[in-house]
């Protein structure tokens, strides 16, 4: 199972919006509405930010939103803040009843 | 509050075995599936394995299938990962994570496994 494809880096200025893509196949992203997104700060454990493509866990800012079109899922961060600088990973359930993570995207706040 | 504490990591020679543990508290452990996810130094996250709430179903990444075994003891609120025939490429921080409908909603802080001679 190959990792889902994400851009290596995305940057934006405070207050701007950025979008991170996550591309898979019909066997994972495109086949199920089980895409999640995780934020990871250096040296810390990942934190769930979005689940089931579009849902936010309690306590996660509404500046984070998710969507999906075909085999590509996306995470949008609006009103970018300095604390959003981190690595972000998508994750999808697969037709093999396993899971696969994306390659990861480093978000830089300029 | 949910707490997951991994242990058992360390330095091990290639070809040897190691067992990781994950002690869970703050939720009804026996009701939830559990995952192991790893992260090699400076690299991304890699999903390793998942077990159903009762241990009856287990699935593995191709990279560890046949070498790693996930198990759980619901009487002890503990998740395990038995790792055999370890390779240098298994060097990573290993996280356990609680499942919520297919998503990893809580994570431990991880335990480092280094495979080196």
Return the closest-CA partner of residue B44 out of A5, A94, A93.
Answer: A5
Q: Judged by CB atoms within 8 Å, which residues 84-113 of B form the interface with A?
A: 95, 100-105, 107-110
Question: What is the sign of the dihedral through the CA atoms of A51, A48, B107 and B15?
Answer: positive
CB contact at 8 A, B81 and B36? yes
Low-confidence ranges of chain A (pLDDT < 70): none
pLDDT at position B117: 93
CB contact at 8 A, B94 and B26? no
- Chain A interface, mutation test: which of B33, B104, B106, most A Cβ atoms within 10 Å? B104
Between chains, do A98 and B61 touch, taking CB under 8 Å as contact?
yes
Q: How many CB atoms lie within 10 A of CB A28?
A: 27
Task: In whole angstroms, give the CA distance from residue B15 to residue B37.
Answer: 21
A53 DSSP assignment: T
Mean pLDDT per 10-residue interval, chain B, length 117 residues: 97 98 97 98 97 97 97 98 98 97 93 97
Give A-chain residues touching B64 at CB under 8 angstroms: none
pLDDT at position A1: 80
pLDDT at position A32: 94
pLDDT at position B8: 97
Residues 6+ apart with CB under 8 A from A61: none
**Residue in A with minimal Cα distance to B41:** A43
Q: How many Cβ pairs within 8 Å bridge chains A and B?
A: 64
């Amino acid at each position: 199972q190959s990792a889902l494809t994400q851009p290596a880096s995305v940057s934006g200025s405070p207050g701007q919006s950025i979008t991170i893509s996550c591309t898979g196949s019909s066997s994972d992203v495109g086949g199920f509405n089980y895409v999640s997104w995780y934020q990871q700060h250096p040296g810390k454990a990942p934190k769930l930010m979005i689940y089931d493509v579009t849902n936010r866990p309690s306590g996660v800012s509404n500046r984070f939103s998710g969507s999906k079109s075909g085999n590509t899922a996306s995470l949008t961060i609006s009103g970018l803040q300095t604390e959003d600088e981190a690595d972000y990973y998508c994750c999808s359930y697969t037709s093999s009843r396993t899971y696969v993570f994306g390659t990861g995207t480093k978000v830089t706040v300029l | 509050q949910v707490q997951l504490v991994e242990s058992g990591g360390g330095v091990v020679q290639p070809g040897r075995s190691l067992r990781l543990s994950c002690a869970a508290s703050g939720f009804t452990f026996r009701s939830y599936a559990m995952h192991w996810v790893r992260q090699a130094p400076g690299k991304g996250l890699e999903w390793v394995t998942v077990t159903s709430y009762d241990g009856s179903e287990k699935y593995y990444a191709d990279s560890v299938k046949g070498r790693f075994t996930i198990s759980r003891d619901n009487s002890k609120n503990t998740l395990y990962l038995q790792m055999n025939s370890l390779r240098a490429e298994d060097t990573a921080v290993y996280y356990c994570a609680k499942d919520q409908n297919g998503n990893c909603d809580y994570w431990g802080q991880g335990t480092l496994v280094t495979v080196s001679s």
